[in-house]
Amino acid sequence: MFAVIKTGGKQYKVAADDKITVMLLQGEAGAQVTFSEVLALFDGEAHHVGAPLVAGATVTAEIVEQARGPKVYAFKKRRRKNSKRKRGHKQDLTIVRIVDIVGADGKRASKSETPAAEAPAA
């Protein structure tokens, strides 16, 4: 099962036990965060696409760490004017690990239910 969530003005495709980097979220490492803006939800037999959100669906994540992105330089130069400006910026980011996806019908997808964790019957 995977979901498409929206946070920080961006959309992310997530599954159980994924690590993603999102814009700054409040909280310390180890804290639980719930994303209620679920745009779409897909499992093996059913697809739920929201209009605009899937009602009742949530994604629970755990904050791994608060970090900063790479330095981005904004350089402006006006030719023949002996004028230039150089500014740097680092974006505050949060790394989260997806713990659980809960569908609108209460169906859960945790780490043990992902296809990679299933062992073939021999």
| Residue-wise DSSP of 4-56 | EEEETTEEEEEETT-EEEEE--SS-TT-EEEE--EEEEE-SS-EEE-SSS-TT
Chain mean position to CA 106? 21
CA distance 74 to 95: 25
Q: 54, 57, 52, 66: which is closest to 109 by C-alpha? A: 57
- pTM recorded for the entire structure: 0.77
* pLDDT (0 to 100) of residue 45: 81
The residue ranges of every structural domain in the chain are: 2-22+29-67+93-114
Question: With contact defined as beta carbons under 8 Å apart, do 38 and 57 qualify?
Answer: yes
What pLDDT does 50 receive? 87
pLDDT tens, the chain, 122 aa long: 899 999 999 999 999 999 999 999 999 999 999 999 999 999 878 888 988 999 889 999 999 999 999 999 999 999 999 999 999 999 999 999 999 999 877 777 655 554 544 555 54
In this structure, which amino acid lies at residue 45? E
